[in-house]
Structure 1
Amino acid sequence: MDQIIVFVTLFVALSLFVWGKLRHDLVAIICLMILVFSGIVPPEEAFLGFANPAVVTVAMILVVSFGLQKSGLIDFIGNWVMKLGDNPTLQIGALCVIVCFASAFMNNVGALAVLMPVAISVAKKSGTSPSVILMPIAFSSLLGGMITLIGTPPNILISNIRKTSLGEPFKMFDFAPVGLGVAFIGLLFIVFIGWRLIPKRIGNSDDKEKFNINDYITEVRLTEDSKIVKKPLSDIHELTEGDIIVLNLIRSRHLIHAPSLNMILQEGDILTLEASSEDLKTFVENSKTQLVGKSEEKEDVVGGENISTIEAVVMADALISNQTAASLNLRKRYGVNLLAISRQGKKIRKRIDHVKFQVGDVLLLQGDTDKWTDLLQNLGCLPLADRGFNIGEPRKIILAVGIFLLALALIIFDLTQVQIAFSLAALLMVITKIIPLKEIYTNIDWPVIILLGAFLPIGTAMETSGGAETIANQILKFGSSLPNWGILALVLVVTMFLSDVINNAATVLLMAPVAIGLAIGLDCSPDPFLIAVAVGGSCAFLTPIGHQSNTLVMGPGGYKFTDYWRMGLPLEIIILVVSIPLILFFWPL
């Protein structure tokens, strides 16, 4: 009976992950509660997963990764890439190698996020479509995660599972023999062949041209006969059923950015509006306002010097995700105008204040130039090309790298455990002020931490209920005619498929117990099967939903869902062909 409940719970988890309407951490909590109330997981053990060294290690590595990012190290390297020529193969090669190497030692999403603006700027400078650069560097960040223990959370989980099952965890560079080979061949394919398979979805234009925003922005003057004189700004929406957004107000030659809807309008006010030609025509007729000609001089206006537009992408688990500009009260709370939204290359214009933001959406925002850095960080958005590079202080870069190398040395020479070494590194980065104290917790990917802590007991339940053994036995029966290396390849393919549709950490937690069961059934070493699960868990190349890196580039690259398999499918086939011999050589059955 326990096995049936566990299998039903896993089916629920997989269905909800694929459905995608609920966040993965919430799905993990739902499944954990099912097992608790069914009596399979004792209540006193329900949250032991959060004390697991793997969960602590992931959290600390995220902090240390942010410290390396904050120091300006990656920006320093990225600034060098900006000096390369116009050869797209050279540009893509340099960016992919940098992202791959950085992802081996820091959070791959963080490494990608830092270099995305560099990639877009390089594309703009050389006249190349960003579409051909962004997907390659996203895929390279996944390849880099395969190389070391700390490259990606699935590797840390695999190491912890090995310690529980065999008494010894994988060490820092145990993944490198296979990971380096796979990453090297994968990079060769991406740099010389793969990027040519990607459709050029986005041209090379500036933000306003890309969104055609100038066609929708107009200025109107309130005359003596205007119906909205001496009325609050909010009354504008009563004069038309269309979508009218007031961006700025000019009064007595002073520009007021994102004026309050409670502001009382006066004769002579000039309103900067964003609206379609049909909505604008209706508004002007109903309000008795007067269109202001583009040639009319307004050079004496004060207050608009520091107002600028910026293009930003919604990051995973951002504050604004699944909310609207209206529900966030974006204008009043943040002083920001939302000008346009681009989703998968398609522009959204109608009632954009009521459109729910999704991860990967590209937003065109208007606001105070001096406040963009803090504002976008609070919203959980990543600025794209229009930002300066944070080159950082040489002292901070050297200090951050030194602290990171200290943590690596403590691990390599077996002086302490991984979670202790990186906890020390995180502490030192705070003490040395590389990371501001207030930013520590905001840069931990809490949904991933909740997912890991809640899903670990589910993985344990698979083993204790005999579910993992049952699945392993069925696979052995199905593949009875296959050689042992064929079963190993089957484990890798199934893990690859799951990682394309559900979170890679959840994939590893589901597949690792099965892999160990298969090894026991075949009387083989569990190590090659665990390495295969680790490699497969980092192969989310077919869809934009399998990994945050893929989702992050979808909006800026203008990709469609089906674009990913064009380069991803041949890449996964290559990895399958390359990784199996490497695993068998370095981790014999």
Structure 2
Amino acid sequence: MSYQLTALFALFVAVFAFLIWGRFRYDLVAFAALVIGVIIGAVPTDVAFTGFGHPATLIVALVLVVSRGLVNAGAIAYLARLVRRSGDSIPRHVATIGGIGALLSAFINNVAALALLMPVDLEAAKRASRPASDTLMALSFATILGGLVTMIGTPPNIIVAQYRATVEGAPFSMFDFTPVGLVCAGVGLAFIALIGRRLVPHREGLSPDPLSAINDYFGELEVQEGSKSIGRQVSELDAKAQENEARILGLVRNGKNLPGRALAAEIEEGDLLLVEGSPEALDRLRSEEELSIVGSNVIEDIGGGDMTLVEAVVTREGRAEGRSVAQIGLLHNHGVSLLGVSRQGKRIYGRVPGLRLRAGDILLLYGPAERMDDVVAWLGTLPLAERGLNVTQGHRAWLAAGLFGIAVGCASFGIIDLAIALAAVAVLYVVLDIVPIREVYDHIEWPVIVLLGSMIPLGAALEEAGGTALIAEWIVAGTQGLPAAAILAVVMIVTMTLSDVLNNTATAVVAAPTGYEIATRLDVSPDPFLMAVAVAASCAFLTPIGHKNNTLVLGPGGYQFGDYWRMGLPLEILIVAVGVPAILTFWPL
């Protein structure tokens, strides 16, 4: 072997060892390997940073921004609502939340899909008084499987598609992955719901985040012109509120509380609804029922569209302690409204404006993002750690989904490149304030971008130096005399094994050229081998480190490292068993 090839193999062995060890962050390991590769002459200087401008890297970043836009606009909340209606039956719940997770993962980043649905799953477990471990791993695996269905569902699909463009002149299109992906995802989901979930041991999850115990905010929502709640009875709206884990406590009309909870009263324009629930529940109720935060029109006229929610604790020394909400004059003085107050789990009675605040009360403030730090300091309150609260813009759900659908359609029919289409959607989301400019960079997963940008030049250098050809030669020699279909299965197994201990992105970067080289040596079409790499690189089910979704559920589910293979091993065997015939059916050799 040449010096360059020897150096590159040594670098990859070191990268794999450090990634498996897990002592250092994967992006740091990959970037350090790239820098070392350039210094020792293994990677040409002129291509060292080309990975950061590679279409695959850009698409991964843009998918994360678009995913945030769909969440902000409330397009995802409609699907999440179905989960809450599935009841407490574990099989039905797993089938429902797994199906929704897989559907979401096909079109938004699968990590984002899991992050969106994991709180819903935890809520369902708490409501049913069962361990979250019964369903969380199933949800993680389902969102991974859903990513197989389209090109943008998971980074390995993007990498393989772009690699095909490099070697064949044209990438895989958006829905080229769909036939095989649907077969694997469908069979995998059926296994998870019927059998796999039973193989996972019952575990008690970690103690919940202290912030998650702040569930009971008391506040007011205003019925403005055009609200679809007008003309409905309070009891009907209360039933809808309870679906969102909220409750209607009363109704105020013309400044007066109607008797009791006014459940029989018909809602009119200008009414104020007294509500109770978590921040997420109140925001869902506001968005889905087209209600308004009191003073929101005034606030948005002053502050524009970049609205946010902030939680802050009242202190004894602060300006808010001992004064009523009306006396503080948040809306008049600062253009900020009070969406709710939480008081140590105790129910609050009366009106929000007349509520006299006490030390220890937690305020849920709504207003322009750029003003919040100053308002919190002026009040003398202590801000709580951020927990991802966002203001859902329910009236823009169809707009956000429509723009995304148009972009996907244009890319699918070859009218415009996918990266450009997603970039256009991201720009429109920012212009329309669906994704505030301050959130654009916050929701790009920079460690993944650095990993991808670093590994692509290393993978290209390995291929250029003949490394992937050498690996392919070893695999072909080791499978001498076997039919091409059996070799395809071996490629899937080797790729899956790598992905179980490495990041799936890094696995795809290395395995795609290897699969292509094997196909070339066998004198068959490379497409089935590239498709096999795409499927296998994403299907990391044996460990909590192979895919970030598995890592995300490790703590909340209380799982141990050895729990994953119980459901993951038969699932991986099943994916190979159905994946190989499906690939050969839709992508013949």
Fold match (TM-score > 0.5)? yes
Match of 2:387 among 367, 376, 386: 376
**Which runs of structure 2 are paired with 1:6-405 in the superposition (5 Å)?**
6-202=8-204, 302-306=358-362, 375-377=386-388, 392-405=392-405
Distance in 2 of aligned mates of 1:90 and 1:478 = 45
Runs of 4+ aligned residues of structure 1 deviating over 3 Å after TM superposition are 203-208, 247-252, 390-394
Which letter does structure 2 place at the counterpart of 1:432? L
**Which runs of structure 2 are paired with 1:406-555 in the superposition (5 Å)?**
406-555=406-555
Per-residue Cα deviation, 1:327-366 (whole angstroms, up to 9, x for no partner): xxxxxxx99xxxxxxxxxxxxxxxxxxxxxxxxxxxxxxx
Contact 1:306 1:368 survives alignment (8 Å):
no
Instruction: Give structure 2 stretches of 5+ with no counterpart.
Output: 214-312, 323-355, 365-375
Shift of 1:34: 2.3
Match of 1:587 in 2: 587
Q: CA RMSD in A?
A: 2.8
Shift of 1:410: 1.2
Contact 1:462 1:513 survives alignment (8 Å):
no
Contact 2:137 2:553 survives alignment (8 Å):
yes
Distance in 1 of aligned mates of 2:363 and 2:414 = 54
Per-residue Cα deviation, 1:314-338 (whole angstroms, up to 9, x for no partner): xxxxxxxxxxxxxxxxxxxx99xxx
Distance in 2 of aligned mates of 1:251 and 1:513 = 64
Which letter does structure 2 place at the counterpart of 1:61? V
- Alpha carbons of 1:58 and 1:542: their partners in 2 closer, same or farther (altered >3 Å)? same
Shift of 1:376: 2.5
Distance in 1 of aligned mates of 2:181 and 2:443 = 27
State the number of aligned residues: 441
Contact 1:508 1:534 survives alignment (8 Å):
yes
- Alpha carbons of 1:488 and 1:368: their partners in 2 closer, same or farther (altered >3 Å)? farther
Shift of 1:462: 1.2
Distance in 2 of aligned mates of 1:448 and 1:204 = 26
Per-residue Cα deviation, 1:386-441 (whole angstroms, up to 9, x for no partner): xxxx7934421111101101111211221110110000010011111110111101
Contact 2:206 2:558 survives alignment (8 Å):
no
Partner of 2:153, secondary structure, is coil
- Alpha carbons of 1:205 and 1:458: their partners in 2 closer, same or farther (altered >3 Å)? closer
Partner of 2:482, secondary structure, is coil
Shift of 1:248: 11
- Alpha carbons of 1:434 and 1:2: their partners in 2 closer, same or farther (altered >3 Å)? same
- Alpha carbons of 1:105 and 1:249: their partners in 2 closer, same or farther (altered >3 Å)? closer
Distance in 2 of aligned mates of 1:512 and 1:76 = 37
- Alpha carbons of 1:193 and 1:250: their partners in 2 closer, same or farther (altered >3 Å)? same
- Give the TM-score normalised by structure 2: 0.71
Which letter does structure 2 place at the counterpart of 1:129? P
Shift of 1:42: 2.0
Partner of 2:59, secondary structure, is helix
Distance in 2 of aligned mates of 1:43 and 1:118 = 48
Partner of 2:78, secondary structure, is helix
Which letter does structure 2 place at the counterpart of 1:48? T
Which letter does structure 2 place at the counterpart of 1:167? G
- Give the TM-score normalised by structure 1: 0.71
Which letter does structure 2 place at the counterpart of 1:376? R
Shift of 1:482: 1.8
Shift of 1:207: 7.2
Distance in 2 of aligned mates of 1:36 and 1:391 = 45
Partner of 1:376, secondary structure, is coil
Sequence identity (%): 45
Distance in 2 of aligned mates of 1:13 and 1:468 = 16
- Alpha carbons of 1:57 and 1:516: their partners in 2 closer, same or farther (altered >3 Å)? same
Contact 2:520 2:526 survives alignment (8 Å):
yes
Q: Which moved more, 1:72-81 or 1:19-28?
A: 72-81
Contact 1:88 1:128 survives alignment (8 Å):
no
Per-residue Cα deviation, 1:17-44 (whole angstroms, up to 9, x for no partner): 1111111111111221222122232212
Instruction: Give structure 1 stretches of 5+ with no counterpart.
Output: 212-246, 257-299, 309-333, 336-366, 378-382, 384-389
Distance in 2 of aligned mates of 1:128 and 1:159 = 42
Which letter does structure 1 place at the counterpart of 2:581? P
